[in-house]
Structure 1
Amino acid sequence: MTLLYGHRGAKGEAPENTLASFQHCLAQGVNRCELDLHLSRDHELMVIHDTTLKRTTSRRGKVSQHDAAELVTFDARHGGPGWPQPCPIPRLEELFEQCPFEHWQLEVKSASKVRAARTVQAIEKLVARHGLLDKVIVTSSSREVLRALERHAPALSRGLVAEYAWLDPLKVARHYGCEMLVLNWTLCTPERLQKAQKQGLHVSVWTVNEVALMRRLADFGVDSLITDFPGLAKRTLSS
């Protein structure tokens, strides 16, 4: 059975990476999610995709230039689907407290050595405090982040995000002790999928928004799909 993850909550239906988006995902009956993390200036884990604020809040500057208390006052509805109420940038902790997902993919973008270490240590601490170690996997396309996970947060499960085929993703995943391979759908051939699953990897494929593609990948036997439209995906795979 193919599992479903809401991409940044329900990115196609609600403002991405906001509490409203994750609640909307849960309301569609999809209880797994994928999200993105950056550290605030005062080292709190904030749920936002870009390093900068412009695309989702129309503010200037970087996430890392603001304290968490300020970031949570910024409305992150900009450029997304229309939404009636303001949608602040959430702290990860707020989502852990309010959204009962059964599994979380937490993606960390590339970062310097120091920042990667700081980020994964903050994640491990928060995840442990909320008793979610068995419900969380930290994913990244950055070797610096995967190295930091091995070195500084070995208790956390890790996954490789692979967008391009120029490096053998299976080899890289094995090298960093990953349990999950998060593949761009264009890389998901039946051969690569079978090879990865033989290696013991859970293969999660993104971003899958078309009905025909959802069905095709489910027929291939992918372990999970990441989608902007969790309600549509749920109905498609149930029918």
Structure 2
Amino acid sequence: MTQIYGHRGAKGEAPENTLSSFQKCLEHGVRRCELDLHLSRDGELMVIHDSSLKRTTGHRGKVVEHDAAELAQYDARLGGPGWPQPCPIPRLAELFEQCPFEHWQLEVKSASRERAARTVLAIQELVREYGITDRVTVTSSSREVLRALNELTPQLARGLVAEYAWLDPIKVAQSYGCHLLALNWTLCTPERLLRAQKQGLHVSVWTVNEPALMRRLADFGADSLITDFPGLASATLGNR
């Protein structure tokens, strides 16, 4: 049975990576989500995709140049589907408190070695505090982040985010001791999927928004799909 993950919550229906978006995902009965993390200047894990504030909040500068309390005041609904109320940038801790997901894919963008180390240690601490280590996989396309996960937080499950096939994604995932392979849908051939699963990898395919593609990937045997429309995915795959 192919599982469904809401992409940045329910990105197609509510402003991405906001509490409203994750609540919308849960309203559809989808209990798994994917989100993106950046550290604030004062070391808190903030849920936002870009390192810059411009696209979703209209503010200038980078996430890392602002403290968490300031970031939590910024309305992050720019460029998303129309939304009536302000949607602040959430702290990861807020989502852990308010959203009962069964599983979380926490993606960390590329980072310097020092920043990667600080980020994965902050994730480990927060996940332990909420007692959900077994419900979290930290994912990244960054070698620095994967190396830090491997060396500093080996008890956290980790996953490689693969967008291009210039290096064999399965070999790269194995070399960092990954449990999950988040594969761009264009790379998800039946052969690659089977090979990854034979190596013990959970294959999570992104970003899958068309019902025909959802059905095809489920037929291939994809372990999970990451979608902007978790309600649509649930309706499409629910009667299989």
Determine if the TM-score, normalized by the shorter chain, exceeds 0.5. Answer: yes
Which residue is 2:57 aligned to? Answer: 57
The 2-side partners of 1:99 and 1:203 are apart by 24
Q: Does 1:143 align with 2:139?
A: no
TM-score computed with the length of structure 1 as normaliser = 1.00
TM-score computed with the length of structure 2 as normaliser = 0.99
The 1-side partners of 2:180 and 2:118 are apart by 22
Which residue is 2:229 aligned to? Answer: 229
Give 5+ residue unaligned stretches, structure 2.
none
Shift of 1:81: 0.3
The one-letter code sitting in structure 2 at the alignment partner of 1:70 is E
The 2-side partners of 1:113 and 1:20 are apart by 33
Which residue is 1:89 aligned to? Answer: 89
The 2-side partners of 1:150 and 1:218 are apart by 30
Which residue is 1:36 aligned to? Answer: 36
Map 1:157-196 onto structure 2 (within 5 A).
157-196=157-196
Which residue is 1:210 aligned to? Answer: 210
The 2-side partners of 1:12 and 1:179 are apart by 28
Deviation sequence 1:147-205 (CA, Å, 0-9, x none):
00011111100000000000000100110000000000000000000000000000000
The one-letter code sitting in structure 1 at the alignment partner of 2:33 is C
The aligned length equals 239
The one-letter code sitting in structure 1 at the alignment partner of 2:83 is W
Deviation sequence 1:77-130 (CA, Å, 0-9, x none):
001000111000000000000000000000000000000000000000000000
Shift of 1:34: 0.0
Q: Does 1:238 align with 2:201?
A: no
Q: Which region of structure 1 is more displaced relative to structure 2, 150-159 or 110-119?
A: 150-159
Shift of 1:55: 0.3
Which residue is 1:47 aligned to? Answer: 47
Which residue is 1:78 aligned to? Answer: 78
The one-letter code sitting in structure 1 at the alignment partner of 2:38 is H
The 1-side partners of 2:33 and 2:94 are apart by 15
Other structure's SS at 1:111 match: coil
Q: Does 1:26 align with 2:26?
A: yes
Which residue is 1:16 aligned to? Answer: 16
Give 5+ residue unaligned stretches, structure 1.
none
Shift of 1:238: 1.1
Question: What's the RMSD between the two structures over aligned residues?
Answer: 0.4
**Which stretches of structure 1, 4 residues or longer, exceed 2 Å deviation after superposition?**
none
The 2-side partners of 1:22 and 1:115 are apart by 26
The one-letter code sitting in structure 2 at the alignment partner of 1:222 is A
The 2-side partners of 1:125 and 1:103 are apart by 17
Which residue is 1:116 aligned to? Answer: 116
Identity of aligned pairs, percent?
79
The one-letter code sitting in structure 2 at the alignment partner of 1:150 is N
The 2-side partners of 1:238 and 1:72 are apart by 36
Other structure's SS at 2:73 match: coil
The one-letter code sitting in structure 1 at the alignment partner of 2:3 is L
Q: Which region of structure 1 is more displaced relative to structure 2, 150-159 or 190-199?
A: 150-159
Deviation sequence 1:6-61 (CA, Å, 0-9, x none):
00000000000000000000000100000000000000000000000000001100
